[in-house]
Amino acid sequence: MSTYAAPVRVAASRLTEPRGVGLVGIFLGTLAAWLALPPLSARTLLWPILVGILAVAAGIWTVSRGAGRVGWGAVASGILGIALGSLATRSSVGHLETVVIWSALLASTLRYATPLTFAAIGGMFSERSGVVNIGLEGMMLMGSFFGIWGADKTGSWILGVLIAMVSGMMLALVHAVFCIQLRADQIVIGTAINFLALGITGYLFTDIYGARGIPANVPEIPDISLGGLKGVYFIGPIFGNLNLMIWLSFVLLILSYVVMFKTPIGLRLRAVGEHPRAADTVGISVYATRYAAVITSGGLAALGGAYLTLGFIHNFDQNITGGRGFIALAALIFGKWRPFGAFAAALLFGFSSALGDHLPDYFAPGSSVPQLFNILPYALTLIAVAGVIGRSIPPAAIGRPYVKQ
């Protein structure tokens, strides 16, 4: 009998522990911001501030009871909640309800999240095998240029996407050779990869397209129109007309989860990233595994880039990825190097981008305040690596070159 009672008792005692109170505080802080957004949209500053102060109080109490990290997290989330909440209440409220059509916002979220999902899952393969990949940004950029270039030259978006993948894999191969074979510092090489991608794509773009820009008739990745779903309330506008690559990212997500956690391949890859010497001892080739993982990551990041130019923006300009590779890296870390975690983080970050994009409609037009929403991914990741809400702990052997004995 006691076996059934124990979990309940544990759960109850957890809530009164400092850690539990801190977590409640963090929740309240988030709530403070949300109170001011639709569908609730509190009209006065009172509610966000009240709830936010509660969050800060819970945080301070937690800190004083010795659970510093969670406590400070609650304090920070309370302050953020008050700030964001007051920002939102200051905007014209009547406008808010009509313009925030949630489905549109969520569809936009998916569009913003997809490049991040591809790149973050790519990064997961590389980093799980023990190779840091700061070069995700560069590999993505390669994909976005060569995708649109390939589609333009061959007249087919399928070939464009394939060419994009190959280009990303080539750059990843450079990363792999230098990091694995030559045992260079992986962060320096990742930085170099970003420089190279910027140089290569910029050079080719100006040389090939120059002042004319990308022609308008480049084939695009088609949207999948689900006729039957269109009329369905709320769901229809979100999923009814999504780009093929978005659906592909869902497939990739499940596939990468299965490969990483349910197959021997994934087990080997994780073993190489956690304890290469042990993996080597039982006959797993550390080098081959890492090569495969890094090259896969390049291909996937490039897919994200190809979606960006062929399925989303339909154009290319120098440095078009504009830091999305770094957001993907943030999503990966925030998601604790797990596929669904990374996807959830990508959705959250995509949502903040979508908010930043749509908010000017209902803030005073032209206001720069929505820019602040773009900070969210980075601030959250910073909090996550600082270990406030479930600390992100990287694979044990990450960043260490392996020397065969």
Q: Which secondary structure element, helix H or strand E, spans residue 86, and what is its range? A: helix 68-90
DSSP track, 285-317: -HHHHHHHHHHHHHHHHHHHHHHIIIIII----
Note whether 397 binds another protein by CB under 8 A: yes
Cα diameter, the chain: 77
- DSSP secondary structure code for residue 157 in this structure: H
Report d(CA 393, CA 188) in Å as an integer: 22
- DSSP secondary structure code for residue 91 in this structure: S
Residue type, 245: M
When the beta carbons of 219 and 399 are compared against another protein, the nearer one is: 399
- DSSP secondary structure code for residue 403 in this structure: -
Binding track, positions 23-62, relative to another protein; x by CB under 8 A: ----------------------------------------
What's the gap between Cα 305 and its chain centre?
A: 13
Rg (CA), the chain: 23
Binding range to another protein, per CB under 8 A, among 43-51, 97-105, 151-159, 198-206:
198-206
When the beta carbons of 55 and 376 are compared against another protein, the nearer one is: 376
Segment 76 to 115, residues that bind another protein, using CB under 8 A: none
Segment 310 to 329, residues that bind another protein, using CB under 8 A: 318-319, 322-323, 326-327, 329
Structure tokens at 97: 């309800």
| SS3 sequence of 37-59 | CCCCCCCCCHHHHHHHHHHHHHH
- DSSP secondary structure code for residue 228 in this structure: G
Report d(CA 165, CA 157) in Å as an integer: 12
**Sole binder of another protein in the list 5, 8, 10, 182 (CB under 8 A):** 182
**Sole binder of another protein in the list 33, 88, 196, 347 (CB under 8 A):** 196
Q: Minimal distance in Å, beta carbon 392 to another protein?
A: 9
When the beta carbons of 141 and 161 are compared against another protein, the nearer one is: 141
Segment 215 to 274, residues that bind another protein, using CB under 8 A: none
Note whether 66 binds another protein by CB under 8 A: no
Binding track, positions 123-162, relative to another protein; x by CB under 8 A: ---------x-x--xx------------------------
Q: Which chain residues interact with another protein by CB under 8 A?
A: 69, 132, 134, 137-138, 174, 178, 182-185, 187-189, 191-200, 202-204, 206-207, 210, 275-278, 318-319, 322-323, 326-327, 329-330, 333, 364, 366-369, 371-372, 374-375, 377-379, 381-382, 385-387, 391, 394, 396-397, 399-403, 405
